[in-house]
Amino acid sequence: MIYIKSAVAGLFAVMAAYLLVVAIGVSALILASSKERDSGIGFDIVAFGRSLLGSAIGVLAFIGGFFWEYLRVSRV
């Protein structure tokens, strides 16, 4: 049961990390687009998720969430 709880915590950490990345990306787009009205800027979350950086963030977030919950539950 401890592994299932830890895996679920890891998945929640991945979702939180990607939501944080989306929020940073959208805010960067808003700031960048307000300076120049003639240029187009885009943020593709699917392409980011498939990139090496997106995969690394997801894996690190899962590992961090998994071990955080595993250590927290194993102390009880």
Pairwise pLDDT comparison (1 vs 40), residue with the higher score: 1
Structurally, the chain folds into a number of domains equal to: 1
**Which band of pLDDT confidence, cut at 50, 70 and 90, is reported for residue 45?**
confident
Mean pLDDT of 13-26: 90
pLDDT > 90? residue 14: yes
> Residue 40's pLDDT is what?
64
pLDDT > 90? residue 37: no
> Is 66 within 8 Å of 10 (Cβ atoms)?
yes
Mean confidence (pLDDT) of the chain: 85
Mean pLDDT of 55-71: 93
- For residue 58, give its domain range: 2-74
